[in-house]
């Protein structure tokens, strides 16, 4: 099947909803002009396959009307405009949220109207009316904060009316909509709190917020905090060019946040209409709420708000097939794409590791810190952390006892790097050739290699890995110290470590919360931020350019070294899988869909700052599927017993950690069938 026909390529199948904010053309009190602008934007949104379109507050009439809004002829014209928009929506895909002043029971309300598929589904009145500084809405409008269970008649039709309305998609149960208006967001207790606790995954705000210096930052703060605290998407649309400038100015700001992350924002102060579009992940929102048990408690504490809301069916007829994906998807979810964030996160990650090790040193008062140095990424970064720990505690780096232990697969390149590193950091450095001891053990257990046969099986590899760790533990005992673990989060996820007396074990595992892709950026950051000398930086750069290898199998006749990623898959894909499955609990087929959009074209999307151009890879769906299957087997089925017995180490990323005392707890004897079946059933063959 093609991307036009197979459901895998349809973003809606994966729980996405395409939302947009609109700043349509508007003229003060010119209802016909404004209505034409609203309809024009709805048609543009339909062409862009938008599911939900949020307009500014009072967009039908314009906002800055003063006493004009109380004129009977004006209000009748507003109603006729509503009928015109409802009729225009009949064959359009977007659900439209438009603002208008409406009369109910002899009171005038500032309302948000929900229009879909040729129907007016309901009206939500504004709860909190600003009546301070430049705003005096109580002169004209009644507050809707206590309006529940009601109806309002618009063009002779009675429709649900009140602040107790939630609009639920007829197609996707995860798409539930709550609406508030402008000042509601600024109140100490926004209505969206109850809406989210009642089940809304998307909260929309129709706003006519004027612009003054610094107000945009305030809006972002409120929208971001709402989406984070309420575990939802928050869609905000403010009035723009064309509103009355008698005493105010307007910037037409639109923004879409999801779980505290900015997905999209409009260009402010544009004269022409603008659509700000992003695909909101309602499945991800559900996943976050499942894990966030404080959210459950808040529902109970609020008296289960869903009992107080009326749920209105919301026709939702999206375009099927491959319509793309309009949202940023990080290739490296553990690594920020923006330079300022990258530096901040690297600073924090590095200092979390250093501070954790400092506290362990203070608690145990060791005479030495014992570490194995291979010349690869993980041991290099662990050495960096240990060196900085000693510096901050005013301890000599010579108390770090670093050992390089060449085995059957060690290359001169990595051995040379290991020695250069140890000398550059001025640690106590020694070399122990483990081959004689490994040969003796292989001989004692009757392994074929001891008889001259080139058998390089798991036993052959584990004898070396275990031998190295055994030496380190005995050396730690001999020198009154403890062993610093070098294994990282990615290896723990894949079970790529030798259990027990192997690289699985240490006294304190400084890298256990850091994935491989972040370690690479931490080393680049250490170079860029000049944490050490220029001579040291040159060695660190050489380590970054070294093939990732366990160096347990002898070099081939063609000079090729044992490659870790040829066995377990590219770490950049594995870290992508890990973050989205462990942190969000997403289904494997959805993770494949996301990975395909993130990795299929190296020329598209953002790359982390300073990321080498020659390392910018791309992967087709078949490759992604192959390594995702491998990840699912390793992660769910046969690696948990290793994670259930790992040593202490600091959690570093909000993406999670795999300690049984932290984020991830799972039985060691589970099977991966459910995840593998879900992937195979939902991917194109």
pLDDT digits (tens, 9 = 90+) for 35-46: 999 999 999 999
pLDDT at site 248: 87
Whether pLDDT at 507 is above 90: yes
The listed range with the strongest mean pLDDT (287-296, 619-628, 650-659) is: 619-628
- Answer yes or no: CATH 3.60.110.10 is held by domain 12-314: yes
Q: Is 462 annotated as a binding residue?
A: yes
Q: Give me the catalytic one of 59, 182, 232, 389.
A: 182
Residue 182 annotated among the catalytic residues of the structure: yes
Q: Give me the catalytic one of 57, 137, 180, 572.
A: 57
Residue 111 annotated among the catalytic residues of the structure: no
Q: Is 373 annotated as a binding residue?
A: yes
The mean per-residue pLDDT over the stretch 179-204 comes to 97
Q: Is 209 annotated as a binding residue?
A: yes
Q: Give me the catalytic one of 126, 388, 420, 651.
A: 126
4: left (phi over 0), alpha (psi -120 to 50) or beta: alpha
> Residue 426 burial (CB < 10 Å; 0-12/13-18/19+)?
middle
The mean per-residue pLDDT over the stretch 232-242 comes to 94
The mean per-residue pLDDT over the stretch 405-426 comes to 93
The label of the residue with tokens 């904010």 reads 21
Cα–Cα separations (whole angstroms), residue 556 to 410, 454, 460, 552, 672: 12, 11, 16, 12, 34
Local confidence band at 250 (pLDDT 50, 70, 90 cut-offs): confident
* Cβ-count burial 286-308 (b if 16+ within 10 Å, e if not): bbbbeeeeebeebbeeeeebbee
Closest residue by Cα to residue 69 from 154, 144, 140:
140
Q: Is 539 annotated as a binding residue?
A: no
What secondary structure does DSSP assign to 532-559, as a single string? Answer: S-HHHHHHHHHHHTSPP----SPPPTTS
Q: What is the pLDDT of residues 316-335, one digit of tens each?
A: 888 889 999 999 999 999 98
Return the number of other C-beta atoms located less than 10 Å from residue 58's C-beta: 29
66: left (phi over 0), alpha (psi -120 to 50) or beta: left
Q: Is 374 annotated as a binding residue?
A: yes
What does the radius of gyration of the chain's CA atoms come to, in whole angstroms?
30
Whether pLDDT at 605 is above 80: yes
Backbone angles phi, psi at 348, to 5 degrees: -65, -45
pLDDT at site 241: 87
Q: Which fold has domain 339-682?
A: Rossmann fold (3.40.50)
Q: Is 627 annotated as a binding residue?
A: no
Its sign, for the CA torsion 74, 76, 79, 84, is negative
Under 8 Å between Cβ of 78 and 101: yes
- Rounded Cα gap, residues 254 and 16, in angstroms: 19
> Residue 281 burial (CB < 10 Å; 0-12/13-18/19+)?
buried
Structure-block tokens of residue 65: 């009307």
Q: Is 490 annotated as a binding residue?
A: no
Residues of the chain with CATH 3.40.50.620: 339-682
Local confidence band at 204 (pLDDT 50, 70, 90 cut-offs): very high
* Cβ-count burial 66-94 (b if 16+ within 10 Å, e if not): eeebeeeeebebbbebbebbbebbeebbb
- Rounded Cα gap, residues 121 and 448, in angstroms: 76
pLDDT at site 243: 85
DSSP 562: P
Residue 572 annotated among the catalytic residues of the structure: no
Q: Is 491 annotated as a binding residue?
A: yes
The label of the residue with tokens 């001259």 reads 452
Residues of the chain with CATH 3.60.110.10: 12-314
Q: Is 254 annotated as a binding residue?
A: no
Whether pLDDT at 343 is above 90: no
- Rounded Cα gap, residues 408 and 436, in angstroms: 10
Under 8 Å between Cβ of 683 and 545: no
371: part of which helix (H) or strand (E)?
Answer: strand 368-372
Whether pLDDT at 1 is above 60: no
Q: Is 619 annotated as a binding residue?
A: no
Under 8 Å between Cβ of 657 and 663: yes
Whether pLDDT at 336 is above 80: no
């Amino acid at each position: 099947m093609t991307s036009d026909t197979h459901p895998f390529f349809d973003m809606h199948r994966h729980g996405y909803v395409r939302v947009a904010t609109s700043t349509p053309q508007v003229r003060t009190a010119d209802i016909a002009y404004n209505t034409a602008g609203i309809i024009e934007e709805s048609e543009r949104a339909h062409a862009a396959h938008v599911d939900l379109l949020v307009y500014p507050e009072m967009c039908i009439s314009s906002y800055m009307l003063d006493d004009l809004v109380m004129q009977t002829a004006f209000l009748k014209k507003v109603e006729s405009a509503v009928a015109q928009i409802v009729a225009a929506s009949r064959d359009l895909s977007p659900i439209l949220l438009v603002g208008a002043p409406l009369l109910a029971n002899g009171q005038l309300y500032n309302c948000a109207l929900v229009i879909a598929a040729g129907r007016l589904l309901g009206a939500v009145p504004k709860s909190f009316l600003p009546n301070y500084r430049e705003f005096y809405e109580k002169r004209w409008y009644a507050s809707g904060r206590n309006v529940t269970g009601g109806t309002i008649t618009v063009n002779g039709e009675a429709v649900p009316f009140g602040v107790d309305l939630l609009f639920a998609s007829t197609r996707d149960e995860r798409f539930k909509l709550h609406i508030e208006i402008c000042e509601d967001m600024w109140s100490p207790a926004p209505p969206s709190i109850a809406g989210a606790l009642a089940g809304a995954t998307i909260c929309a705000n129709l706003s006519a917020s004027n612009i003054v210096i610094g107000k945009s930052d305030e809006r972002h703060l409120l929208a971001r905090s709402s989406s984070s605290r309420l575990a939802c998407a928050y869609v905000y649309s403010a009035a723009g060019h064309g509103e009355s400038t008698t005493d105010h100015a307007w910037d037409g700001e639109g923004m879409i946040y999801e779980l505290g992350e900015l997905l999209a924002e409009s260009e402010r102060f544009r004269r022409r209409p603008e659509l700000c579009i992003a695909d909101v992940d309602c499945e991800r929102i559900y996943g976050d709420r499942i894990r966030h048990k404080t959210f459950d408690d808040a529902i109970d504490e609020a008296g289960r708000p869903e009992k107080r809301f009326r749920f209105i069916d919301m026709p939702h007829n999206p375009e099927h097939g491959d319509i793309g994906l309009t949202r940023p998807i990080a290739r490296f979810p553990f690594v920020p794409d923006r330079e300022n964030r990258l530096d901040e996160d690297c600073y924090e990650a590095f200092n979390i590791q250093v501070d954790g090790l400092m506290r362990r040193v203070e608690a145990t008062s060791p005479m030495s810190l014992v570490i194995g140095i291979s010349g690869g990424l993980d041991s290099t970064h662990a050495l960096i952390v240990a060196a900085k720990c000693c510096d901050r505690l005013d301890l000599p780096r010579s108390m770090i006892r670093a050992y390089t232990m060449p085995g059957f697969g060690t290359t001169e390149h990595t051995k040379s790097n290991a020695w250069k590193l140890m000398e550059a950091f001025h640690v106590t450095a020694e070399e122990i050739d483990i081959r004689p001891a490994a040969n003796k053990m292989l001989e004692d257990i009757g392994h074929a290699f001891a008889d001259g046969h080139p058998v390089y099986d798991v036993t052959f590899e584990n004898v070396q890995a275990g031998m190295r760790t055994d030496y380190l533990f005995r050396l730690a005992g001999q020198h009154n110290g403890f062993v610093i673990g070098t294994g990282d989060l990615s290896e723990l996820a894949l079970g790529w470590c030798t259990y027990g007396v192997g690289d699985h074990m240490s006294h304190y595992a400084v890298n256990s919360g850091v994935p491989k892709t972040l370690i690479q950026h931490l080393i680049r950051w250490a170079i860029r931020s000049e944490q050490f000398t220029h001579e040291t930086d040159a060695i660190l750069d050489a380590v970054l350019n070294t093939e990732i290898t366990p160096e347990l199998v002898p070099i081939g006749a063609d000079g090729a070294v044992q490659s870790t990623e040829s066995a377990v898959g590219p770490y950049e894909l594995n870290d992508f899988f890990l973050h989205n499955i462990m942190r969000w609990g997403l289904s494997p087929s959805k993770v494949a869909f996301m990975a395909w959009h993130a990795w299929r074209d190296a020329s598209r999307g953002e790359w982390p700052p300073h990321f080498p151009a020659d390392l910018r890879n791309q992967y087709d769906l078949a490759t992604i599927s192959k390594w995702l299957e491998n990840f699912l087997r390793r992660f769910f089925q046969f690696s948990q017993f290793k994670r259930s017995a790992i040593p202490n180490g600091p959690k570093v990323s909000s993406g999670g950690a795999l300690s049984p005392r932290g984020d991830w707890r799972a039985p060691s004897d589970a099977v991966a069938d459910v995840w593998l079946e879900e992937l195979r059933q939902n991917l194109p063959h």
